Structure 1
Amino acid sequence: MEDTTTIEEGETNKDIEVAPALIAVHPTQKSVAVAVGSDLRIFDIEAGCAASLVDDLGGPFHRDSIRAIQYGAEGKLFVSAGDDKIVKMWSTKSWRCICTVCSEKRVTAVAISNDGLYVCFADKFGVVWVVDLVGFEGNQTLVNKKATQLLSHYCSIITSLEFSPDGQFIVSADRDNKIRVTIFPKSPLDGAHEIQSFCLGHTEFISCLAFVCARECLQSFLVSGSGDSTVRLWDISSGDLLDNCEVGIKAGLLESNGSTEQHDHAVTDICTIQDGVLLAVAIQSLQGIVLMSCNLSARTLSVAKVVSIAKETFIPTSLGTSPSSRLLWMVTGVSNLPGFDYLSFARVRVISGFDVEQEPAIIEDNKIPGGDTLLENLQGSAIIDEKIFLAAAEAVKTAMCNLLIKKQYPAEKREFRKKTRNDRKVKF
């Protein structure tokens, strides 16, 4: 019989869960946000100082690891959520928390409708919830707001959530290799009952989603990254797969015969640059990013360049950019790193030069927007050793696999687990 001791220990040990550092950039690059563990750090680039977050509820803003952060399309709203089952909505004008909503389960993804009227969040049980912000203006605090169930993936962890650029669809992806395209209803509080399509083809969990839409092309397309080390291009109206690019192989991380485990080199994040002409892709174990070219007329994807970061250990855990700038912001770091004294740490880098005539290059720390002051606030003042960043990259990889790779059990173990499920126990 297969040894399941390790699996059982992993299931019961919830004391320490590694969480990767996240980054988000204001649509006009007025501010940059970094989340590491329960720590939310915002830097106001226009003011040249850290933003002072205010929450009338008092206490810490989050009590456990933050798993999702996002700015609204207009930049007026910012949302943070995570393992403490709390969703917080912030006004970016004053950085006051204008609404706090409790979730039934841990939150894994958030999305803000393009008009800023609805905030959606997904949980580890596979449910997407919606919060109504209709009528909100300015800086007033919204009280007694509750989330309403919008749709469900039925017990599959939802990993990514995005609104289409036209606001017509909400797209949700899960660990069971599935992408669901749902028509966003006119009355979301009544639920979303009409499915437009399913985008099926990935052979491992879906890790990230992004939309690409060039100015000359009225139609937008979806790109997805996965634990199978591929990036795929989709027509969401029909669910058709338009192209598949094996970025793990193209970046030299995988052999074409598939001799290496693909989910060891999962795509961890995708970020669109230049109106979707370019995509930046982060891959586990890759010290840098892959730049991909998206030809929307031909509906194809191709690897344009691998941008390496050679001077230091830097494997991005999250990417961010703004439509108004030609800068790509990256962060690496974790919280709760086993075996080290650091509670949380992060390192921020920026890449410029995405114009046709220029070569992408890493910007020196003192030349990025906000300079050293920004880095001190987003990274912290501690000097982190190179080996710790390597350990962090491995810890994130392990944590991602533990969460998203479905555990396999022998037949005897499966039958035992079915009989002892909580929902089948007799209650007296």
Structure 2
Amino acid sequence: MEEREEATKDVEVAPALIAVHPHQRSVAVAIGPDLRVFDLHASAAVSLVDDSGGPFHSDSIRAARFGAKGKLFVSAGDDKIVKIWSTEFWRCFCTVSSEKRVCAVAISIDGSYVCFADKFGVVWIVDLTGYDGNQPLGDKKATAILSHYCSIITRLEFSPDGRFIVSADRDFKIRVTVFSKRPLNGAHEIQSFCLGHTEFVSCLAFVHGQDCPQDFLLSGSGDSTVRLWDISSGALLDTCEVSIKAGLLESSGEAQENDHAITDLCTVLDSLLVAVAVQSLQGIVLVSCNHSARTLSVAKVVPFAGEAFVPIGLGYCPSEGILWMITGASSLPRSSCPSLARVRVISGFDVEQEPAVVEDDKVPGGEKLLETLQGTVSVNGNVFLEAAEAVKTAMCNLLIKKQYPAENRDFRKRTRNDRKFKP
């Protein structure tokens, strides 16, 4: 059983990830086990230092993100380790072991806690209270605080006020849990469930702005929709059928819905717009968010003319008004280059103006940044389309629940091989 799992894991396609410092001091890209960071202030690649005494990543990184203040960075993935970095000198000061492969991470707003979720559906917490990240933290254990009960958790987010931790899973659920003042004792109080998606929930983001006193939640899904929620009650405020409204999917094309799953989203322009990445779309969709009316609507589609680029990950810097995007994957089957990454940038976001795709020589950090984050391998643009298709297939295999005929269910139950027998 273990040998078969290892063989399967070796060929699993892992999407490239991108994370942007909240003040655009640095940009990080994860491709397979490789973590690449570029310092925009120094205009140079970052040399990562590991002071934790633990191993470096040996398998695909599945989650990578900065904290709200930009002081912390967390990376985690299939090697069952979580690495916590201080971004001041890019030193890993803590490595935490997980019982299962890690699929999502989140950092509390004040930076006191790091949470991560494993593929068994359990959310764990690491206490960093009072630690400044300047010295190695030593052996640190994680504590389980909540569970989705055998459902793969796809995304974790803390609410902007720090009161809630939101977890989404492949079984269409979004759970809003009260983040207690003593979280190491567990997070047992459920505030609400946000129910309405008909496929896996792939991404989450909060809407907040000056004319939005209450924080609302945005979610993207394999059902090709973006939805707006009131997390205090779990009420669905609006649904935007992105693929249909953007002309990507016919309203009667139910069999094609999985071809246009939402892979990522993030708010831009003080949450007045939402940038949405859609599978198979060579561009992004901008969704308008009306805070007062609590509605969503497709504003425009920004295509990538002249290049085969399907964004699968997004990161936005509010202070600079720049949207960073990435496509690519690792462990690509039948490819001469098993790991590929391509970074692009969009700037000029305005409600009344058309945003512009930035040429490579005008990207912040220029060619040095692109060489650091993408690598120096030159490939044909169509290879990235193949990578996007491979990511789509891998996502469907992982997150689309298989349906079996009734006559096969009893046989599968009798022959299941995950039970433990005592000798």
What is the TM-score normalised by the length of structure 1?
0.95
- The equivalent position to 2:307 in structure 1, one of 308, 312, 335, is 312
**Residue 144 of structure 1 pairs with residue 139 of structure 2:** yes
Alpha-carbon distance in structure 1 between the residues aligned to 2:93 and 2:13: 29
Bigger shift: residues 59-68 or 28-37: 59-68
Match of 2:251 in 1: 256
Q: C-alpha offsets along residues 26-55 of structure 1, whole Å, 9 cap, x if unaligned?
A: 010000000011110000000000111001
Counterpart secondary structure, 1:269 = strand
- Aligned 1:106-117 pairs, distance under 5 A: 106-117=101-112
CA deviation profile, 1:282-318 (whole Å, cap 9, x unmatched) = 0000001000110010000011110000111000110
Which residue does the alignment assign to 1:230? Answer: 225
Letter in 2 for 1:31: S
Distance 2:49 2:109 in 1: 25
- Structure 1 gaps of 5+ residues are 1-8
- How many pairs are equivalent? 420
Correspondence for 1:218: 213
User: CA distance change for structure 1 residues 369 and 423 in 2, over 3 Å: closer, same or farther?
Assistant: closer
Query: Is the CA contact (8 Å cut-off) linking 2:54 and 2:95 kept in structure 1?
Result: no
Question: After superposition, where does 1:91-170 map in structure 2 within 5 Å?
Answer: 91-170=86-165
Mark the CA change 1:143 to 1:11 in structure 2 (over 3 Å): closer, same or farther.
closer
Residue identity in the other structure for 2:66: Y
**Shift of the alpha carbon at 1:15?**
2.8
CA distance in 1, matches of 2:421, 2:84: 41
Are residue 360 (structure 1) and residue 355 (structure 2) matched? yes
Out of 332, 339, 351, the position equivalent to 2:334 is 339
Q: Does the 8 Å contact 1:206/1:226 carry over to 2? A: yes
Residues 376/425 of structure 1: CA separation in 2 closer, same or farther (3 Å cut): closer
Q: Deviation of residue 411 (structure 1)?
A: 2.5
Match of 1:286 in 2: 281
Q: Does the CA-based 8 Å contact 1:27-1:73 persist in structure 2?
A: yes
SS at structure 2 position matched to 1:381: coil
Paired residues of 2:211 and 2:292 also in contact (CA < 8 A): no
Change (3 A) 1:412 1:13: farther
Show CA shifts across 1:379-401 (max 9, x none). Answer: 01111112211110110010000
Aligned-partner Cα distance in 2 for 1:15–1:368: 34
Give the CA deviation at 1:59: 8.5
Amino acid at match of 1:13: T
Q: 1:217 to 1:22 in 2, by over 3 A?
A: same
**Structure 1 vs Structure 2 CA RMSD:** 1.6
Tell me the distance in 1 between the aligned counterparts of 2:242 and 2:409: 35
> 2:94–2:137: 8 Å Cα contact kept in structure 1?
yes
- Equivalents in 1 of 2:149, 2:124: separation in Å? 13
Contact 1:254 1:260 in 2 (8 A): no
Q: TM-score, normalised by structure 2?
A: 0.96
- Corresponding residue for residue 199 of structure 2: 204
Cα distance in 1, alignment partners of residues 98 and 147 from structure 2: 14
Q: Is the 8 A contact 2:27 2:39 kept in 1?
A: yes
Q: State the shift of 1:423 in Å.
A: 5.6
Residues 264-413 of structure 1 aligned to structure 2 (within 5 Å): 264-413=259-408
The residue aligned with 1:31 is 26
Out of 113-122 and 129-138, give the one that drifted further.
129-138
- Once the two structures are superposed, residues 140-178 of structure 1 have per-residue CA deviations (whole angstroms, 9 ceiling, x without a partner) of 111121100010000000001000010000000000000
- Which of residues 157, 176, 183 is equivalent to 1:181? 176
Residues 316-342 of structure 1 show CA distances to partners (whole Å, capped at 9, x for unaligned) of 110001221210000000001111121
Q: Which amino acid aligns with 2:78?
A: D
Q: After TM superposition, give the deviation of residue 263 of structure 1 in Å.
A: 1.4
Question: Are residues 120 and 274 of structure 1, via their aligned partners in 2, closer, same or farther at CA, if it must alter by over 3 Å?
Answer: same
- Mapped partners of 1:181, 1:196: distance in 2: 5
Query: What amino acid is aligned across from residue 393 of structure 1 in structure 2?
Result: A
Partner Cα distance (1:144, 1:334) in 2: 32
Query: Following the alignment from structure 1 to structure 2, what is the Cα–Cα distance between the partners of residues 19 and 90?
Result: 22
Residue equivalent to 2:35: 40
Whether 2:64 is the aligned partner of 1:69: answer: yes
Contact 1:160–1:174 (8 Å) recurs in 2: yes
In 2, Cα distance between equivalents of 1:425 and 1:221: 44
Q: 1:391 to 1:423 in 2, by over 3 A?
A: closer
